[in-house]
C-alpha cells in the first residue's frame, strides 16, 4: 500500500494512502510531554479473598487500535487539514478512516480492572503526560494531542495554550464534544453479560479512583 507524504512539521508527519485517501499520522520524538515515572502502581493481578481484583494492565492491541482509529479522524480534521491549507495546498484526505500510528513517546494505554475477577469493571487510561494524570478516552485526549502536535505553546501568563479539559479547566468535555462533534463524551466501561447476580450497588456509578496512580511527578 502506498503512502504519500502530504505534510512534514517538526512534530509530526502526515501521510495519505493512495488507495482510500485516509490519513496516517506519525508523531515525531519531541511530540510528547512525557514524565518518565508516570505509571500506575498496581500492575500485578492479585485476587483478594472476596474474589475481587484491582489492578492495571497494558491495554490489548485491539483497544489501543480502537483509540488510534478514534483519534485519527479528529487529528486529521482539526490538525492536519488546517496545516495543509495554511501551506496553500488543497486537502484531499478522507478523514473518517484516518489513524494515529503510535501514541506520543512514553505514553501507554492501560486498562484498569476492578471488581469481581470473573467480570471486572474495565476502564481505559492513557498515561504518560507530565501535566495530566490520565486521559480516559480518545475524545478527552484529542485536544491535548493537538497541542503536542502543534508545538506545546504557552500563553503569556504561563498556562498551557491547550484546549483539553485538564489544561483548560474553563471548558468541560461536554463543551468540547459540542464544539468539535467528538461524539460520546467518555469511553464508557463495557461490562460483559454474565448470569452472575449483581450486588445491589452495581447500578451506582463509582467515582474514578485516581489515588492509585503514581503522583510523585510534578503536576499542575
- Report helix, strand or coil for 144: helix
113 binds Zn ion (CB under 5 A): no
The site string for Zn ion over 156-175 (x = CB under 5 A, - otherwise) reads ------x-x--x--------
Q: Closer CB to Zn ion, residue 77 or residue 144?
A: 144
Q: Closer CB to Zn ion, residue 3 or residue 161?
A: 161
Helices (H), the chain: 61-75, 81-86, 138-149, 173-180
Q: How far apart are CA 65 and CA 70, in angstroms?
A: 8
Under DSSP, the state recorded for 203 is G
Total interface residues for Zn ion by CB under 5 A: 4
CA atoms within 13 A on the CB side of 147: 24
Residue 24's DSSP bridge partners are 15, 99
- Report helix, strand or coil for 77: helix
The site string for Zn ion over 68-107 (x = CB under 5 A, - otherwise) reads ----------------------------------------
Q: Closer CB to Zn ion, residue 27 or residue 84?
A: 27
Beta strands in 59-207 (DSSP E): 94-100, 108-116, 121-127
Out of 38, 81, 114, 144, which residue is the one contacting Zn ion (CB under 5 A)?
Answer: 144
Q: Closer CB to Zn ion, residue 44 or residue 170?
A: 170
Question: Which window, 53-61, 108-116, 143-151, 199-207, contacts Zn ion (CB under 5 A)?
Answer: 143-151
C-beta of 136: minimal distance to Zn ion in Å? Answer: 13
59 binds Zn ion (CB under 5 A): no
Q: How far apart are CA 210 and CA 133, in angstroms?
A: 8
The footprint of Zn ion (CB under 5 A) covers: 144, 162, 164, 167
Amino acid at each position: 500500500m502506498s503512502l504519500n507524504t502530504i505534510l512534514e512539521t517538526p512534530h509530526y508527519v502526515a501521510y495519505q494512502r493512495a488507495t482510500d485517501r485516509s490519513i496516517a499520522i506519525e508523531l515525531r520524538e519531541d511530540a510528547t510531554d512525557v514524565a518518565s515515572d508516570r505509571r500506575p502502581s498496581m500492575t500485578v493481578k492479585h485476587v483478594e479473598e472476596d474474589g475481587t481484583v484491582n489492578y492495571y494492565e497494558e491495554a490489548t492491541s485491539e483497544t489501543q487500535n480502537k483509540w488510534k482509529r478514534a483519534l485519527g479522524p479528529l487529528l486529521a480534521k482539526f490538525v492536519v487539514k488546517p496545516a495543509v491549507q495554511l501551506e496553500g495546498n488543497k486537502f484531499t484526505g478522507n478523514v473518517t478512516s484516518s489513524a494515529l500510528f503510535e501514541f506520543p513517546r512514553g505514553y501507554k494505554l492501560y486498562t484498569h480492572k476492578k471488581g469481581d475477577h470473573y467480570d471486572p469493571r474495565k476502564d481505559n487510561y492513557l498515561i504518560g503526560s507530565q501535566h495530566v494524570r490520565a486521559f480516559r478516552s480518545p475524545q478527552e485526549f484529542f485536544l491535548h494531542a493537538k497541542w503536542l502536535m502543534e508545538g506545546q505553546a504557552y500563553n503569556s501568563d504561563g498556562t498551557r495554550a491547550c484546549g483539553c479539559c485538564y489544561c483548560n479547566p474553563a471548558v468541560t468535555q461536554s463543551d468540547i464534544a459540542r464544539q468539535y462533534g467528538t461524539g460520546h463524551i467518555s469511553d464508557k466501561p463495557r461490562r460483559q453479560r454474565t448470569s452472575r447476580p449483581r450486588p445491589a450497588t452495581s447500578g451506582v456509578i463509582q467515582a474514578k479512583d485516581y489515588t492509585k496512580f503514581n503522583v510523585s511527578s510534578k503536576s499542575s
